[in-house]
């Protein structure tokens, strides 16, 4: 009899609400996941998750165990509580890291200390040396680490990857990408952590397209230059509201990316995102053009139930939607769900295979599964997505120096210059 995994989600914010929890609820009722714990800094986000009417409709009778308890005062913070929750888990279950970027490293390390497999939202960490440390430690302990670059699971990305591998496009030479997130993000918890000293729109969402171009082509970035435009959040904190990045690749190709927290709340969006890539072939050129925000479906609702309360909406059926299925409630579909399910299913398979083996053989089997996933390059892992940490490091240096071009040097010890 196969054993389901207990899951602890650390972080109860937007991404947990919009994607992670519903995906994990579905995996719970299909027998992959057992108990779900969620740990946040304080309990207001946990109350919001508990009260989300979509979850009651879609996953009737399902629930999670909140930390801190919902009886605690709302303004009391528990920054260290997640450590106790991780320490109380059975070994070799699953920790999902879904808190602000600067805290990922510490939580991943704490998860390892308690022998837990990890699924981390992107970016895994902010430094290449940390991602290497995570890769090495995970392999040593036979623990799986997946990074949630869900755009890899978008069918259009997978189709592009296949045709690129088969040589149908030619060689990547020039590209353009865009991801403008909604204006209303400025009024969320973002104002507390999306500050100029910590992050910027390129680091936050540009990384999806940087990862995607690498996912499709396997060509490594060698220079990054990012310029930002600052603004003030409602609470007075200063953040980069817009950013433009230029990435140069080892074959000389160039990708230009614009990002921001500024898609109009009244727009049909709910954001703006796209990728265009041009390729050189023998006597001709190739092209990939993904319109990632208008995917051919529009709805106009009687009430303003769109993401920002809008009536008329471009509906993206591909990322994450709740739809009717044979079971109770509704099920999540889309590449967001596929991406989370891919990592959790891999851990479920790995742990169940290992459970029937001696300790030595189990470790060997775990390492085989981790290496095969690294090699396959579909699920993002520290080994096959490390260019993102180098790009993040270069980006932060560049944006804080008004767009200074920062080089990425590979070899035995990859670093930025
Ligand atoms: N497209 C994507 O892949 C995508 C989208 C959104 C966010 N993210 C990533 O997800 C992460 C979180 O983003 P978000 O939008 O959910 O942020 P958010 O600000 O809405 O939520 C952050 C959560 O972290 C919790 N937290 C903070 N400190 C904590 C602590 N010490 N212990 C326990 N919990 C703590 C807070 O309580 C809050 O619930 C970021 O790394 C972000 O980059 C990825």
Ligand 1: nearest atom to the Cα of 149: 3
- How far, in Å, is the centroid of ligand 1 from the Cα of 119? 13
Asked if residue 124 has its Cβ within 6 Å of ligand 1, the reply is no
Residue 270 DSSP class: S
**CATH (one of 3.40.50.720, 3.40.50.300, 3.40.50.1980, 3.50.40.10) for 5-151+327-381:** 3.40.50.720
pLDDT score for 212: 97
pLDDT score for 293: 87
Asked if residue 99 has its Cβ within 6 Å of ligand 1, the reply is yes
Between helix 335-355 and helix 359-376 the angle, nearest 10°, is 160
Domain spanning 155-318+390-416: CATH 3.30.360.10: yes
pLDDT score for 310: 85
Asked if residue 148 has its Cβ within 6 Å of ligand 1, the reply is yes
Domain boundaries, the chain: 5-151+327-381, 155-318+390-416
- How far, in Å, is the centroid of ligand 1 from the Cα of 193? 9
Asked if residue 74 has its Cβ within 6 Å of ligand 1, the reply is no
Cα 196 to Cα 190, 206, 219, 261, 386, distances in angstroms: 12, 16, 29, 13, 23
Cα 285 to Cα 171, 172, 254, 277, distances in angstroms: 9, 10, 16, 11
Asked if residue 125 has its Cβ within 6 Å of ligand 1, the reply is no
pLDDT tens, position by position, for the chain (417 residues)? 899 999 999 999 999 999 999 999 999 999 999 999 999 999 999 999 999 999 999 999 999 999 999 999 999 999 999 999 999 999 999 999 999 888 999 999 999 999 999 999 999 999 999 999 999 999 999 999 999 999 999 999 999 999 999 999 999 999 999 999 999 999 998 899 999 999 999 999 999 999 999 999 999 999 999 999 999 999 999 999 999 999 999 999 999 999 999 999 989 988 999 999 999 999 999 999 999 989 999 999 999 887 778 899 999 999 999 999 999 999 999 999 999 999 999 999 999 999 999 999 999 999 999 999 999 999 999 999 999 999 999 999 999 999 999 999 999 999 999
């Amino acid at each position: 009899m196969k054993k389901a995994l207990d899951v602890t989600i650390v972080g109860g914010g937007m991404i947990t609400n919009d994607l992670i929890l519903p995906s994990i609820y579905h995996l719970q009722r299909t027998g992959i996941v057992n108990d779900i714990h969620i740990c946040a800094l304080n309990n207001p986000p946990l109350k919001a998750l508990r009260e989300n009417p979509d979850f009651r409709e879609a996953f009737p009778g399902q629930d999670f165990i909140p930390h801190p308890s919902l009886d605690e005062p709302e303004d009391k913070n528990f920054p260290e509580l997640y450590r106790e929750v991780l320490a109380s888990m059975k070994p070799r279950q699953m920790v999902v890291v879904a808190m602000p970027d600067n805290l990922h490293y510490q939580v991943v390390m704490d998860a390892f200390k308690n022998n837990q497999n990890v699924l981390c939202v992107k970016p895994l960490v902010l430094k290449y040396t940390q991602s290497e440390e995570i890769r090495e430690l995970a392999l040593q302990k036979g623990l799986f680490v997946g990074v949630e670059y869900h755009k890899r699971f978008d069918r259009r990305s997978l189709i592009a990857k296949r045709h690129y591998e088969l040589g149908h496009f030619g060689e990547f030479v020039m590209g353009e990408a865009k991801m403008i997130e909604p204006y209303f993000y400025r009024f969320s918890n973002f104002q507390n952590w999306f500050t100029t000293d910590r992050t910027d729109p390129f680091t936050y969402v540009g990384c999806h397209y940087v990862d995607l171009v690498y996912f499709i082509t396997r060509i490594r970035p060698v220079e990054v230059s990012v310029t930002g435009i600052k603004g003030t959040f409602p609470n007075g904190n200063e953040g980069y509201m817009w950013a433009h990045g230029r990435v140069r690749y080892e074959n000389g190709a160039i990708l230009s990316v614009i990002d921001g927290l500024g898609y109009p709340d009244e727009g049909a969006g709910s954001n703006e995102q796209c990728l265009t890539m041009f390729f050189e072939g023998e006597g001709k050129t190739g092209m990939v053009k993904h319109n990632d925000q208008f995917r051919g479906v529009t709805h106009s609702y009687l009430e303003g139930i769109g993401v920002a309360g809008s009536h008329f909406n471009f509906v993206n059926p591909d990322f994450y939607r709740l739809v009717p299925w044979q079971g109770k409630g509704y099920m999540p579909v889309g590449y967001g769900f596929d991406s989370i399910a891919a990592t959790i299913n891999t851990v479920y398979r790995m742990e169940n295979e290992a459970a029937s083996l001696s300790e030595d053989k189990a470790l060997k089997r775990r390492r085989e599964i981790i290496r095969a996933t690294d090699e396959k390059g579909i699920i993002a892992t520290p080994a096959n997505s490390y260019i993102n940490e180098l790009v993040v490091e270069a980006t932060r240096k560049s944006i804080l120096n008004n767009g200074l071009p920062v080089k990425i040097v590979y070899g035995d010890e990859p670093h930025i210059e």
